[in-house]
Amino acid sequence: MKIYSVSIIIFTYFFSVGIVSAEPCTLKFIVTNYKEGLTLYKKKKYQKALIRWFPLAESGLGPAQRQIAMMYATGTGLKKSIRQARFWARLALHGGDLAGRNLDNSLGLNLSPEGRSLLTSRVDKWMAKSIVCSGGMVTVTSEPNNMKYKVIKDKRVSSRNSRLIDKNLSLILKIASGKNMANNLYLSIIDQFDFYNGSRYDRYVGWKPMNKLKDENLNVVRLSVSNFYDIKPDYFAKALLFITKRRVFNNLRNSSLLDPFMRRIKGKKVFGSIYPDVRNGDFFRMMGQAFTMTEQLPKSLKRYINIIDEVHYNPTSKYYRRSGTIDAKGAFYIKSLSSEENRIMFVRRKVLFSSPLFFLQTFVHEGTHAVQDQKAFKNLEEVRLIRKIISQLQSTGTNPKKISDLQRKNQVKLDYANRWYRGVKTKGGRVQDISFECKATENEIKAVKIVNALPDIMKGSGYLKLCPEAQRQMIQWRDEISRLNSKSIN
């Protein structure tokens, strides 16, 4: 087996590729080069694999740094050097690579205090480099990475909020970049920012779903202008950095990000708060307990749990500028941010003042709204399709009964969608259709009853007095308990 030195590889790389018509590296470029390195490595083409990985490692990509560390540790394609392996493994750990942390731990088992100190010093002095892409290859460059992005503002964004975006977005990105060039690698994948007004205490920062993009290769951040309302901008900047890191790691095979703000619980992405005064550990434990309780539910109710894809913890923080009314809801489904296969819930109430049973209720209630949202969207799609069929039938002048049946069917579907998206018409305009809340409340009662809760758990519901069927369920439930108590006494 041939052993190569990194300096020879880099020389060969620059000589053969050059930097003609180089441009900033997109996420697609980064992912393609990393995966190509894996393919070449499996084929034992180690030099070519290193050509793919080394520029990415020098730019601060944790998974690429871990691959270099493993090659040094095993002497595969590089002259074996535990010292070099430790260095690159520690960089991978700092780069947020989970496997890099495990490798760093194993390589450092017998490291002396002096060796540990020297390693720490060397890592602290290391600086990530900028990269550009040309001819499908990644190249290290002396030029700094400049972000290129568009800013889109929802038509409802106020003029005040628009000025806030124009004034502060570049500052937020500068803080997110910090002094670490590796941060630029991640932040540079953002192609566009889509801002919406949001409520005063909304701190959502996430990716616009692929099925809502005209170009699936674009990486579009969807976020609330309210993120600018913090006392200090550091946490908004941190949120932006972490979502870009997640995006990159999720696209790299066999790579996991060391992420203190996200857990996968029962197949769902559960996001903690970025703010240091919010106790994410309690939140993650509570979500685990609540989702475990949902396993007791029958399939008919589990559908309202299964449809939720993401849960975001968004309680108030001491770092918020406090003015206006805080949303009093414990948790809620976000219609405007959700789409098929990306249904999102916010948890507003601090878990210190709640219980797993409360969140079971909430998941079923808000999950019902997610199902209603899904049905309304599908109804609109079917309405458009049926209209085409009706038009074709009308053009031939045949089968008037079928046309009439289709028109009635279409009206029912359209009525549902209109009530969901626009509410019901009143003398004063349009208001929310309470029937959707009543259905969610009915499902909520069924769920808490199954897990052996007591009827008093529903005291906090503001919808009971508005929903006759829910009232009937509660009366029936209390009667059942009274009959059981009577039997036990007799």
Summarize pLDDT for 132-179 with one digit per residue, the tens.
888 888 888 877 777 889 999 999 999 999 999 999 999 999 999 987
Nearest in space to 315 (alpha carbons), one of 301, 300, 304, 326:
326
Q: Give yes or no: residues 178 and 73 share one domain.
A: no
Residue 14 has pLDDT above 50, yes or no: no
Residue 340 has pLDDT above 80, yes or no: yes
User: DSSP 3-state helix, strand, coil percentages of the chain (rounded to 5)?
Assistant: 55, 15, 30
| Residue with tokens 């990306």, as numbered in its chain | 342
Q: Give yes or no: residues 326 and 346 share one domain.
A: yes
Determine, yes or no, domain membership for 278. yes
| Residue with tokens 């260095």, as numbered in its chain | 87
Domain-ending residue, one of 197, 228, 251:
251
**CATH code for the domain in which residue 66 is found:** 1.25.40.10
The two tokens of residue 212 are: 């809502």
- Tell me what pLDDT residue 8 has: 45
Q: Give yes or no: residues 242 and 313 share one domain.
A: no
Determine, yes or no, domain membership for 119. yes
Q: Give yes or no: residues 205 and 281 share one domain.
A: no
Q: Give yes or no: residues 338 and 220 share one domain.
A: no
Under 8 Å CB-to-CB from 248, ≥6 apart: which residues?
27, 30, 31, 61, 185, 186, 189
The two tokens of residue 86 are: 């430790």
Q: Give yes or no: residues 155 and 65 share one domain.
A: no
Per-residue pLDDT band at 480 (split at 50, 70, 90)? very high
3-state secondary structure of 332: strand
Determine, yes or no, domain membership for 116. yes
Q: What would you measure as the largest C-alpha separation in the chain, in angstroms?
A: 94
- Tell me what pLDDT residue 3 has: 53
Determine, yes or no, domain membership for 256. no
Domain-ending residue, one of 141, 168, 200:
141
CA pair distance 72, 472, nearest whole angstrom: 70
Q: Give yes or no: residues 349 and 267 share one domain.
A: yes
Q: Give yes or no: residues 214 and 268 share one domain.
A: no
The two tokens of residue 296 are: 């007791």
The two tokens of residue 377 are: 């969207």
Per-residue pLDDT band at 212 (split at 50, 70, 90)? confident
Determine, yes or no, domain membership for 55. yes
- Tell me what pLDDT residue 144 has: 72
Determine, yes or no, domain membership for 34. yes
Determine, yes or no, domain membership for 286. yes
- Tell me what pLDDT residue 11 has: 40
Q: Give yes or no: residues 270 and 241 share one domain.
A: no
**35-79 pLDDT, tens per residue?**
999 999 999 999 999 999 999 999 999 999 999 999 999 999 999
Domain-ending residue, one of 93, 115, 141:
141
Whether the pTM exceeds 0.95: the reply is no
Q: Give yes or no: residues 272 and 229 share one domain.
A: no
Residue 15 has pLDDT above 50, yes or no: no
Per-residue pLDDT band at 21 (split at 50, 70, 90)? low
Determine, yes or no, domain membership for 1. no
- Total domains in the fold of the chain: 3
How confident is the model over 346-353, as a mean pLDDT? Answer: 89
**401-448 pLDDT, tens per residue?**
999 999 999 999 999 999 999 998 877 777 889 999 999 999 999 999
Q: Residue 243's domain spans which residues?
A: 150-251
Instruction: Tell me the pLDDT of the chain averaged across its residues.
Output: 90
- Tell me what pLDDT residue 490 has: 62
Nearest in space to 136 (alpha carbons), one of 7, 5, 18, 292:
18
Q: Give yes or no: residues 329 and 382 share one domain.
A: yes
- Tell me what pLDDT residue 434 has: 94
Q: Give yes or no: residues 183 and 84 share one domain.
A: no
